[in-house]
Structure 1
Amino acid sequence: MMRHWFSTLLMLPLTLGLAACQPESLQSAGSAAPKATEIVTIPDDPDPAIWVIKDEDTTIYLFGTVHILKPGLSWFDEAVKEAFDASDELVIEMIRPDPAAMVKIVNDLAIDTTGVSLRDKLDPEDRTKYEAVMASLTLPVNAFDPLEPWFASVSMSLIPLKQSGFETDSGVEDILTSHATARGMTITGLETAEQQLGFFDNLPEDVQIRFLNFNVDSIGEMADGMENMVAHWANANISALAELMNAGLEEKILYETLLSNRNANWAQWVDERMKQPGTVFVAVGAGHLAGKDSLQEQLKKRALVAKRIKY
């Protein structure tokens, strides 16, 4: 169970991107069955996008990540590795807490305290579909009953990815953190585990339930959607990545909570960090570096221009 909680935590920045891979938005969840997803080819030599901001004594690289990957993808080379090797500090979305701390966080935020089980919160039709999906995943139908709807949804989303060969310890942050630790680099988290869990936990319950229902309807497309996310990331197709990853955030509260507000906060962090000398490698979910409210666009408001490194 401990390993499962860590794996689920890794999925938090990713799950709305998975939802966005499907042809229906969260606003229309349950209105139609998802259609088959066309698969984009992952190149043999992935070259994900990377940007740089510089002044006289400070350099900050911005690198978009995918939090869960299949093993063996050779993305950590060329311009990405050169930038990382030149950096003194690694900055990621969140540093994983130790197991005991994680248990407390999950107990405080993800376990429902109302006494109403998850399935009893669902409409009869939605409950029937939910129970069918749980059975298809070989899970007891009551496995997530004590959980908040958002946490059940994130947990459910992870299962078909793992069944398709994605591994939670093969993500970009895992590789970068491992190399940073070996080098003795400073590692900084932009957010805490409490904050990331809180983004979901603070959503109104009706939004959480729509989120869950949508993932129930989309569960068969999760793995193909993830393949497409990785392919666009590996091909540095920023416009396609923006459309794919952010299309599922059409509800204003989701868009602001999970994307635009966080990008604005991170832009403030980068602005402050530019006042100190040094070289920093910032690695955040690729969806944050694409689209009209991307981190780069937020930085422009602070007169900071991130230039794409061509390689």
Structure 2
Amino acid sequence: MTKSNLFKSTVAGLALVALQACSTLPDEAAVAAVAEEAAAELAAESGPAMWKVADEDTTIYLFGTVHALPADVGWYSGPVKTALDSSGSLVTEIDMNPEVIAAMGQTIAAKGMLPEGQTLRGLMNAEQLATYEAGLAQMGIPPEALDSLEPWFAAINITQVLLQSAGYNGENGVEKVLEETVKEGTARVALETVDFQISIFDELPIENQLQFLLQAVEDPQAGVAMLDKIIAEWAEGDAETLGAMLQEANAQDQLITSRLFYERNANWAVWIDERLDTPGTAFMAVGAGHLAGENSVQDYLAQRGISVTRVQ
């Protein structure tokens, strides 16, 4: 039995005991209340994980997203839909306005090109080059096709190829769906700019960029299998296992992990702390890896004395 199923069985058993204890009383309202509470607990363990931070006049939902998904992964229902419908603002990592997203590709391409006279393969030693070209061969990508790109930009292109080959599509990504379904009049808030997100990779030392690239290309099929497992854990709401998997995947380069996760998680915890000073309800949708594992957003909130409650 999986951890999730064990939890559900335990809750169901406790609910039955509670109902049996109440059965000697003619108070149908009490029975209904227990049943409703048990159902809520069961529902909270079903679907991708979501948390809530709240004080007397402010509620902020924290929902972990996946930026690209297969078409057959269902997640937008129940507590997630209810939380979004009740929110006055949708908070995402960057501005999801279609014009901004369209311009993002041009910005990345402009920053991701090597200086004239340099080539990507020319940055590699013999061992790195052999690993790189072997990985590209598995995917059917000619090495010269990426020669003008900086290593981080080549890694993103390779990842995109892997996603598409595995049936993942950005049109099915969580943020895209949220943008298309959020009620009219909902305010939009961006935690970061496109330029900042690009700088996370673009300002890395070349050796770290190369490590990031080789990690993406070394075993493409293993990368797809890992992605499938991550999506499965995300869809089940198993944040603990998801966090462990992401930490293992990122353990090879602590600088990238710090820049990509830890520093941003700490920044977002500050944003949440300050947002609690403004009454209302906000729905914050950020990559699931930021809400799982060590040094998650929740960990940084705890350091600030802010409690977080899981609601799905």
Residue 132 to residue 46, structure 1, CA distance change in 2 (3 Å): farther
- Structure 1 residue ranges, 4+ long, deviating more than 4 angstroms after superposition: none
**Is contact 1:58–1:278 with CA below 8 Å preserved after alignment?**
yes
Residue 100 to residue 259, structure 1, CA distance change in 2 (3 Å): closer
Structure 2: gaps of 5 or more residues: 1-44
Structure 1: gaps of 5 or more residues: 1-44
Partner of 1:248: 249
Equivalent AA in structure 1 for residue 92 of structure 2: I
**Is contact 1:46–1:74 with CA below 8 Å preserved after alignment?**
no
Partner of 1:197: 198
Separation in 1 of the partners of 2:227 and 2:157?
Answer: 15
Which has the higher relative contact order, 1 or 2, with Cα contacts under 8 A spaced 6 or more apart? Answer: 1
Partner of 1:296: 298
Separation in 1 of the partners of 2:162 and 2:257?
Answer: 25
Task: State TM-score, norm by structure 2.
Answer: 0.80
Partner of 2:235: 234
- Bigger helix share: 2
Aligned residues: 265
Separation in 2 of the partners of 1:195 and 1:73?
Answer: 30
Residue 99 to residue 300, structure 1, CA distance change in 2 (3 Å): closer
Cα deviation digits, residues 130-182 of structure 1 (max 9, x gap): 223333323332111111101101110121221121111101111011112x5
Partner of 1:50: 50
Following superposition, the deviation at residue 207 of structure 1 comes to 0.7
Identity %: 37
Greater shift, 276-285 or 132-141, is seen at 132-141
Query: Rg bigger for which structure?
Result: 2
Separation in 2 of the partners of 1:302 and 1:99?
Answer: 33
Partner of 2:189: 188
Following superposition, the deviation at residue 104 of structure 1 comes to 4.6
State the secondary structure of the residue aligned to 2:282: strand
Equivalent AA in structure 1 for residue 208 of structure 2: V
Separation in 1 of the partners of 2:176 and 2:148?
Answer: 30
Partner of 2:60: 60
Following superposition, the deviation at residue 124 of structure 1 comes to 2.2
State the secondary structure of the residue aligned to 1:247: helix
State the secondary structure of the residue aligned to 1:91: strand
Partner of 1:276: 278
* 1:80-119 matches, cutoff 5 A: 80-96=80-96, 98=100, 101-113=103-115, 115-119=117-121
Cα deviation digits, residues 62-121 of structure 1 (max 9, x gap): 001111100132200111111111111100111245367335522442111263100111
